[in-house]
Each structure stands twice: as C-alpha cells, then as structure tokens.
Structure 1
Amino acid sequence: MLARTQYQLEASDLLTVLALVRAHTLAGAGERLGQDASTVFRSVQRIERGLGQPLFQRSRAGYQPGELAQSIAEHAEQLELALESARAAAQTLPEQVAGRVRITTTDTILHGLVAPALATLRAEHPLIELELHAGNEVANLTRRDADIAVRATRRPPPHLVGRHLGPIRVALYTARSAAGRRHAKLALDQAPWIAPDDALPDHPTVVWRKRHLPRVVPVCRVNSILTVAELVARGLGIGLLPLFLAQARSDLLALGEPIEACQTDLWLLTHTESRHLRRVSAVYGHLAQAIALP
C-alpha cells in the first residue's frame, strides 16, 4: 500500500502500458515503442512494483490487461492524441496539414475505391503520412488501432461517427475468355463457382448463394473477394463481385443485373475524439468526396 501511494506515473509509463494493452506481447509493444522486448518487460515490472499490484495476466496467449491497465490505457490514449497534435502543430505552417493517419479497410475496398483516391490526396496534403491496413477483421478505432475505417456494413458500430457513402451493388460475373463464355452457358447450379465460404461465411454473397443454390459446392474457396475476381477473370469459374471492382476490368463479363439481396452499404467511419484532428478531418473529408460507387 505504501508503494501504491508513493509511486507517481510518468507519461512514458502510460505509453508503455498502452502499447502492451494493444499488442498483447512484449515484442509487439516494443515495436510500437521503438524498444526491445526486454526493455518493455523491465518497464512493466517497475510500474507494477511501484503501483503495488499486477497490471497484466501472463499466459500463453500473451499479456491480458486487467481493469487497472485498461483504465491507464484510456488515459494514455488522450496523452497520445495530445502528443500527436502537438508534434503536427510544431512541424507545420498554419495552413498546412501534417501527421500520420491510419486507415483500415478490406483489400477489395482498398484496391477498388480507396487507392484511386490517394493520389489526389497526396497532391493536396503532401505532409500527411498514411498507414494502411487491409484485412477482413475490424481494427479497433476505440483503441486507436486506426483513425478511419472504410467498411461494408449494414449496421455501423454505434460508438463511431460516420458517413454513408452509398450502396455496394453486386452481380454475378464470368471471364470474357472462351472458358468464361462456356461457364455462362451452364445453369448456375452446374457452373464452377469461386467463393470465400470459409474466410467470410457471413458475407452477403455467400449467404445468398447458399440460400438460392444450396447444391453448389465451390471449386475454389478463397480468402478474399479480390481473389474471387482474379480467379474468375482467369476463367476458373463464376463468382459474385461488387460492381466497383468488376466494372473497371475488361476481362470480366456480367451475367445479369445486380442482385439486390447481396447489396450492402459502404460507410466511412471514425472515432468521435479523432474526427476533430486536422489530419484526420482532412483525410476523412477527402475520402468522402473522392469515393464514388457505381
């Protein structure tokens, strides 16, 4: 109890705890802090001794934060925001926007919609640094794993603020090659299918196909919609693809009108505390204007 009342947390302590809460491993926290794992380990031990209680539960799964560690991390996030804002302000003129902005999305949306908008963003704000994360898992904006998310969803998380960018329409495609045209002549339940069943079991295209064509077993199961597009274009089978990805390709042929049941919505999301930062606001506003859905 004596140690707990005497120990005064420093700013570096808060950032150390925050890094380990986010990474769950010493190595991951060290990478975020620019330190080696042993240094992070010694820092955590020192903080826990000073506070007189453990902050993390150690297990084979890594370091799991306790209630106090979570509370410290929340305060550390405010410190992190203040530091980033101060650094950006110190390095730029009043009319300039600078700093790092983390964007998370899926590989399909990144390649089909976000990437085309980045060239004009760089020309408009050359001092902004972009960190892009593409994956099907949703990065935690609350924990500052990302500043902005571009996501396909019908129900965006209520704790985030965002803008509805429009509907993502989906249609069935085959290749324009001879193989693709042969596939187009087959009944839908007889044609070879490419689909992300195991990687995205709840994806609207997977749900629709299983409901309307329950006998179909895909000849190729893949881990992303972007891979579906590549394999379909090579004539390996047919597949359901978003129009924003398929319409720009000359090697894909639509097999009908968009399927309404496969449609979902595209949202541009950020955290309430991040949206007022100049660099986040600049990127958010640019993406809102530049991303256009067919």
Structure 2
Amino acid sequence: MQYKITAADLETILTLTRTSTLAQAGERLGLDSSTVFRNLQRIERGLERRLFERTRSGYQPTEMALALAEHAEQVEVQVESARSVAQMTPEQVAGTVRITTTDTLLHGLVAPALQALEATHPLLTYELHSGNELVSLTRRDADIAVRATKQPPDYLVGKCIGPIRVAMFTAARHGRVNSYEDVEAGKARWIAPDDALPDHPSVVWRKKHFAKVAPHYKVNSILTVMELVAQGMGIGILPLFLTKGRSDLQQITEVIDECQTDLWVLTHQESRHLRRVSAVFRHLGAALKL
C-alpha cells in the first residue's frame, strides 16, 4: 500500500530542512529530538526514500526532501492565511517574523523602526539574524531581508529604500588626522573590514585609490569601524545614516559616490501575502529613512 504523506510529515520535513539539526527542529515543532528522529525514520520507511543525508554539519536535504519542502511551504502559507481569516479581530496581526540583516543596518535602522511598530501590532514577535551572509529566503530561513545591494536576487520581491551614502570620518576631538590631505599624505591609520567583508564597497574603493595601504586595524563589522574611529584609533569609511547625531565623529570627505549602494527590503513572492510578513514589510518600507 502506497504511503500517504500527511501535513504533519510535510511540517517535519520543512522544519528539518530549515534547521538542519534534530534539536532545533524539535524546538520549533514543540517535540524532543528523539521524537523528530523517529518521525523522520517513519516517513523515510513509508516513502522508501532517504530524505536527508546525515553529515557532521547536520541533516542535509536530498532533492526529494527539497521538493517536498516546497509543497510544505505552500501548505504553511495556506494554513497561516486560514488562521488570519479566523481571527476574531481582523485588524490584529500576530505571529513571529524572522528578519535577516547586517548588524549595522539592524542597530542603525531596523531596530528603531520595529520599536515604532510595537504600538500598532503588539502581538508580533521577531527573530532577528544579523550577519554578513544572505540568509536563504527561498528556504524560509527568514521572512524578510534588509540588505545593501546594487542588484537584489531575481527570486525576491522588494522595495528600494534609497541610496546608502558613505564618507570618510575621523575622531572629532582626539584624532590623529584632521583632513583628507593628511590621509593622502600617509598619516592615517586605517580601520577597515577587509577579511570579514572583502567585497564591501569601502574596501574595494580603498584598494583602488590607496593600493599600498594596509589597515592598521582589521575588524569584522562597520559598527566596529565606527566605534574605533570615534575613539581616535584611525580613520574609516562610514554610512551617513549611522553617523547622524554622533558629535564624536568628524566627516573629512564629501560623499564617496563610488561606494554607494542601495538599501532594499526584500521578501519571497509567497511570503509577502502572509499578514504578519506583509504588515512588517509595509512598515519597514515606509519607516526606514536614510
């Protein structure tokens, strides 16, 4: 008799595809890891197919698992839509929205915008992932991405907030460098995210115009660049939205056009129809200001 896969089976496959570990999958499903393992064994026996490869890095989905996960995502969308329809108070939006961005954008723009959303939708909760890598929205590792890019992926839909403008900064009071001429004369110690962000526009620009210069401090985020510059430890290239209101920083160049990128709020085609995702997406699109 052919195995009849259930909605619960699809949920197990989708969750394990997203998390890659039994423990994390169990946490999301409200089960212990041994139960998730037994359920997976039961599904694989019923289908007579291996759905996941067991590796040191976790459970890696096979092509069959990825195909089933796509169907599971469609079921998830429909279930969430049905729950929204069934809400007693239609204007209320509830649930968890997962947002991926960089630490710079999170602290400088996204967090203040979400705080302002609390009054409108107090039942929403958030999972915030800050990192330089683009978390996969196709696998629903996140619902919304807020990213600086010149060309967002074709498989995502979104809104361009505007250009991210940058300039060179030094410390306002106790920096060793007071002008761009000092930088050109080789008097500056550079602070830059070379290893963490080798393709960052500021790194590319410096290597083009100051090819012989090596950073005195290599750091892993633009936030760290800003804080070290403010302490007078060197100069750095910073986005203007991040430096607003900082009296301890002094801008020593005009806007560097070659470093300009655009800020985008992105989501997946299907996710944008979910009420919780749509509410946050619309708010970020309107509230983020550069």
Q: Does the pair score TM above 0.5? A: yes
2:140 is the counterpart of 1:153: no
Q: 2:48 aligns with which of 34, 48, 52?
A: 52
TM-score for both structures, normalised by structure 1: 0.93
Q: Deviations over 1:129-162 (max 9, x none)?
A: 2221111111111111111111100010111111
Alignment of 1:21-170 (within 5 A): 21-170=17-166
Report the Cα distance in structure 1 between the residues aligned to 2:196 and 2:45, rounded to whole angstroms. Answer: 44
Q: 2:243 aligns with which of 238, 246, 267?
A: 246
Report the Cα distance in structure 2 between the residues aligned to 1:92 and 1:178, rounded to whole angstroms. Answer: 59
Secondary structure of the structure 1 residue equivalent to 2:96: strand
Q: 2:14 aligns with which of 18, 27, 52?
A: 18
Report the Cα distance in structure 1 between the residues aligned to 2:183 and 2:89, rounded to whole angstroms. Answer: 63
Shift of 1:20: 1.4
Secondary structure of the structure 2 residue equivalent to 1:64: strand
Secondary structure of the structure 1 residue equivalent to 2:289: coil
Report the Cα distance in structure 1 between the residues aligned to 2:254 and 2:224, rounded to whole angstroms. Answer: 22
Alignment of 1:163-182 (within 5 A): 163-181=159-177
Report the Cα distance in structure 1 between the residues aligned to 2:27 and 2:94, rounded to whole angstroms. Answer: 23
Matched letter for residue 141 of structure 1: L
Report the Cα distance in structure 1 between the residues aligned to 2:274 and 2:55, rounded to whole angstroms. Answer: 37
Check conservation: 2:177, 2:235, Cα contact below 8 A.
Answer: no
Shift of 1:245: 0.3
Report the Cα distance in structure 2 between the residues aligned to 1:114 and 1:209, rounded to whole angstroms. Answer: 28
Report the Cα distance in structure 1 between the residues aligned to 2:259 and 2:9, rounded to whole angstroms. Answer: 48
TM-score for both structures, normalised by structure 2: 0.94
Report the Cα distance in structure 2 between the residues aligned to 1:60 and 1:281, rounded to whole angstroms. Answer: 37
Matched letter for residue 164 of structure 1: C
Matched letter for residue 213 of structure 2: V
Shift of 1:239: 0.3
Check conservation: 2:177, 2:183, Cα contact below 8 A.
Answer: no
Report the Cα distance in structure 2 between the residues aligned to 1:170 and 1:202, rounded to whole angstroms. Answer: 15
Structure 2 residue ranges without an equivalent (≥5): none
Report the Cα distance in structure 2 between the residues aligned to 1:20 and 1:96, rounded to whole angstroms. Answer: 30
Q: 1:268 aligns with which of 265, 273, 284?
A: 265
Residue in 2 that maps onto 1:279: 276
Report the Cα distance in structure 2 between the residues aligned to 1:145 and 1:232, rounded to whole angstroms. Answer: 34
Check conservation: 1:14, 1:73, Cα contact below 8 A.
Answer: yes
Q: 1:180 to 1:291 in 2, by over 3 A?
A: farther
Structure 1 residue ranges without an equivalent (≥5): none
Check conservation: 1:84, 1:99, Cα contact below 8 A.
Answer: no
Shift of 1:273: 0.8
Report the Cα distance in structure 2 between the residues aligned to 1:118 and 1:26, rounded to whole angstroms. Answer: 31
Percent of aligned positions with the same letter in both sequences?
Answer: 64
Report the Cα distance in structure 2 between the residues aligned to 1:123 and 1:37, rounded to whole angstroms. Answer: 37
Report the Cα distance in structure 1 between the residues aligned to 2:87 and 2:170, rounded to whole angstroms. Answer: 51
Q: 1:180 to 1:246 in 2, by over 3 A?
A: farther
Report the Cα distance in structure 1 between the residues aligned to 2:79 and 2:247, rounded to whole angstroms. Answer: 48
Matched letter for residue 103 of structure 1: I
Q: Deviations over 1:265-284 (max 9, x none)?
A: 11111111111222222211
Shift of 1:64: 1.6
2:255 is the counterpart of 1:234: no
Write out the 4+ residue segments of structure 1 that deviate beyond 4 Å after TM superposition: 180-185
Matched letter for residue 104 of structure 1: T
Shift of 1:92: 4.5
Q: 1:89 to 1:230 in 2, by over 3 A?
A: farther
Report the Cα distance in structure 1 between the residues aligned to 2:276 and 2:19, rounded to whole angstroms. Answer: 25
Check conservation: 2:177, 2:188, Cα contact below 8 A.
Answer: no
Check conservation: 2:102, 2:132, Cα contact below 8 A.
Answer: yes
* Count of residue correspondences: 289
Report the Cα distance in structure 1 between the residues aligned to 2:53 and 2:183, rounded to whole angstroms. Answer: 56
